Amino acid sequence: MTNFSHALRDYRNFVHPHREYREAHIPDRDTLNVSWYVVNGALNDLAASSPRPTA
């Protein structure tokens, strides 16, 4: 998961609107799907590691 999250962070930096425009990059559905799974996995890891509130 860590390697994928680093790649996703690098991609996030790439899709800055000005840079995306300058380099004429248009992400496709496959890129979106892969990125979504990485983000979802990271959120699941965070949720699993966060302390549970006590009553």
Which pLDDT value is given to residue 29?
A: 93
- In order along its 55 residues, the chain shows pLDDT tens digits of 567 677 767 766 656 777 777 878 777 899 888 878 888 888 898 889 888 877 6
The pTM score is 0.52
From CA 52, how far away is CA 24, in angstroms rounded?
Answer: 45
Which pLDDT value is given to residue 41?
A: 86
Is residue 39 within 8 Å of 5, Cβ to Cβ? no
Which pLDDT value is given to residue 32?
A: 84
